[in-house]
Chains A and B, each alone.
Chain A
């Protein structure tokens, strides 16, 4: 399983949605880390706790964007994605973005 720690491997200060808006956006994270793993059908664990926080735009584009990118079901993503965090509401929020992206 590939383990990605957003705060250590990407940025402690993730912010924004699209790459045009800055270097540490949701789209940048998805393209650099999540898409390569999912293209290889590799299970991924994402560690969420080591950042200053997250905005909705970042989370939705990073994770909901996977469904749009691969034109797949939410289950295809969630079956291969583990979210590690001490904040269950953050996990629930991300899963909701993935589900809503399918609709």
Chain B
């Protein structure tokens, strides 16, 4: 074997060091904004209001645009937050998950500007948006106030009860707590949401037109003393309840849909899933988990459960009050939001108790 010359050895060493430098930089959180890079990318303005309740169509049109550009067209994308004034927590979780997916399957690159609005930047920092996507956070974590607190996203795969407990410990802190029984209902609801992801959400037999972070879920929480509201959010990028339900309960679905009398579009399908969780299906050992999502609302006697899955939305406000509607666009997974407001099961500390 021919020996390398000193010059060849030096060149190999330079290449080795350069590769090591690139690998190290890839591991480090990056600054979000690079002027030179921006010229080579497609700018995508983030809407003024990201809100999956009050501004669903525009919010999801934006999310869909990220998906198309990064996952289908393999374009670089620059998220321009300069005009963004408001982000709802649920929308923030969906956005974080989407950017994480784009970066994971990143033959395309996704980057962006820090928001001009400092409240929005603080919100994204508190949500853990920057941390989840490996970007430097410019603002420190907000000092815990006694007014409101947004709790950072936790993300994982498979069932992780400890993650639920740590989120619950964050939500229920020095300012607010739950009574013991209510705490167990919250754990029940979140653990069943997590189990549904493991079992059904990413069913490989159901075709997908986009790559997914298989088995992954995202979870976040929030409390607000001024409105006496606590909130928990759970999201996955799976096939959605309307798509998985016919595979899971083929034999009873038709009868349940006929019973509820609402057709078989996505909204009624979520409603049917909840009905299957309540009634006898012939395979008693399955299907009860979705009913667990509602039980915390029944126990708290104040609040709502909202499930947005596929192109459907289901809302439950207790005492068997429920609605189901169809949406103009798919959310691309399942988003579950629990809000509890003004409940005696929630104890606000420092003498300002709700009961």
Contact A16–B194 (Cβ < 8 Å): yes
Across the interface, A15 reaches (CB within 8 A) one of B159, B181, B186, B284, namely B159
Give the number of A-B contacts (CB < 8 Å).
95
Docked pose: A102 CA to B209 CA in angstroms: 41
B285-A101 in contact (CB<8A): yes
Cα distance A6–B184 in the bound complex, in angstroms = 15
Instruction: Report chain A residues within 8 Å CB of B159.
Output: 15-16, 21-22, 24-25
CB distance from B221 to the nearest CB of A (A): 15
Q: A101 to nearest B CB, angstroms?
A: 6
Query: How many Å from the CB of B118 to the closest CB on chain A?
Result: 37
Q: How far is the CA of A57 from the CA of B195 in the complex (A)?
A: 8
Report the minimum CB–CB distance from B274 to chain A (whole Å): 13
Given contacts A11-B161, A21-B158, contact A56 B288 (CB under 8 A): yes
B143 within 8 A of A: no
Interface of A is mostly: loop
Whole-angstrom distance between the Cβ of B71 and the nearest chain A Cβ: 27
Residue of A24, A56, A68, A101 near B192 (CB, 8 A) is A56
Complex CA–CA separation, A55 to B191 (angstroms): 6
Stretch with Cβ within 8 A of B (4 or more), from A30-38, A39-47, A58-66: A58-66
B165 and A52 form a contact (CB under 8 A) = yes
B273 within 8 A of A: no
Residues of A within 8 A of B (CB): 11-18, 20-22, 24-25, 52-58, 60-61, 64-65, 68, 87, 97, 100-101, 103
**A-B contacts, 8 listed (Cβ < 8 Å):** A15-B160, A16-B158, A21-B159, A21-B198, A25-B159, A52-B168, A54-B187, A55-B292
